[in-house]
Structure 1
């Protein structure tokens, strides 16, 4: 179940920092802000399902959203994990107005909802917004290609090692101790691994100075991790 909320100062700051809004002039930012609805969702709430009519796309204000596909047998394949400041679902504006994947709240989330019909109207009048939309879709396309390359070129331990090193850098100049941003089941999906494959990779990385307790990670030898 979701609740519709008023946009507040913090929400505006997050939205203004997104790839969609950050490069736009103030007047255009305000015009878009005036069309946005903010909603809260509980963990595991379905946001939309593959094949359903698409009337909006989203920006994550807090929490994480999981995008995935379902097979006929009910098996799930994760497509991506989106966190604060990231946009998802925008491609449906240009693909027949239907969603091509499922979206689920991975934990309690706050989302900004962009009405597609209103955004199309603004895009026709404002080339700046059209360029921002192209920028986001180009980033998503590049990320998808990087994921395919990583899946084909790197083993499970290498994928996990590379991700941990990225997190270490993001947490401040190679922090040796930090917290995973989300639960391990989501991390497995993000890296294209089965949960048991992720567990085996963590076990193998112990020999390279990685210690995992819950969601806390400690790296005692970053150079060894880079050589995986």
Structure 2
């Protein structure tokens, strides 16, 4: 947990005193937009999907959080309601920290304040990168870059099992599910073969040319 790694042992022990561990089954709702904001969360394993709903019920993913990721830091400094919905994209385990206790610790422990600000900075940079990619890259390029990022160091070909449903990957990449399917189809000539959640990449060099 980068949040914990940024503070010393004594402060970590204090932070652990105001935390608890929560296990969520697949597709269960952690909280809904508009609920009273009570906790900051860190994903220990599995994945959490953060999303918004339109008035007509359409969903738009905000972020997919994986192991080590924290979310709701933006609520520490004054917000009193959640700004999005949170759902388990896979069965997952979370560390849960009470926002009221964190606010008190921030006033007393500069290390905690710095750790929260670093976490906010990481989230902001990640969001800005995602926005830039959405504007600068085609759908096949977004998928190709995701697959390249999963490649083991030095490998020229590899196979992976997607860590979540393809519908979640689509949301993560800012694509509609049908756009993701078309993007995978367009990557066949670059040696990408998809069977369910198993993706085979036969030529990483060809993928990098996309």
TM-score, normalised with respect to structure 1: 0.88
Match runs of 1:18-57 below 5 Å:
18-57=1-40
Determine the structure 2 residue equivalent to 1:205: 187
Aligned residues: 209
User: What is the CA-CA distance between 1:140 and the residue it aligns to?
Assistant: 0.7
Determine the structure 2 residue equivalent to 1:71: 54
Determine the structure 1 residue equivalent to 2:106: 123
Q: Which consecutive segments of 4 or more residues in structure 1 shift more than 6 A?
A: none
Match runs of 1:120-199 below 5 Å:
120-168=103-151, 171-174=152-155, 176-199=158-181
CA distance in 1, matches of 2:173, 2:75: 24
Q: Could you report, residue by residue, the CA deviation over 1:94-138 in whole angstroms, capped at 9, with x for unpaired residues?
A: 242211111111121111110111111111111111011001111
Q: What are structure 2's unaligned runs of at least 5 residues? A: none
3-state secondary structure, aligned to 1:47: strand
TM-score, normalised with respect to structure 2: 0.96
CA distance in 2, matches of 1:123, 1:183: 37
Q: Could you report, residue by residue, the CA deviation over 1:25-75 in whole angstroms, capped at 9, with x for unpaired residues?
A: 110111111111111111121111112210111011121100000111110
CA distance in 1, matches of 2:55, 2:142: 28
Q: What are structure 1's unaligned runs of at least 5 residues? A: 1-17
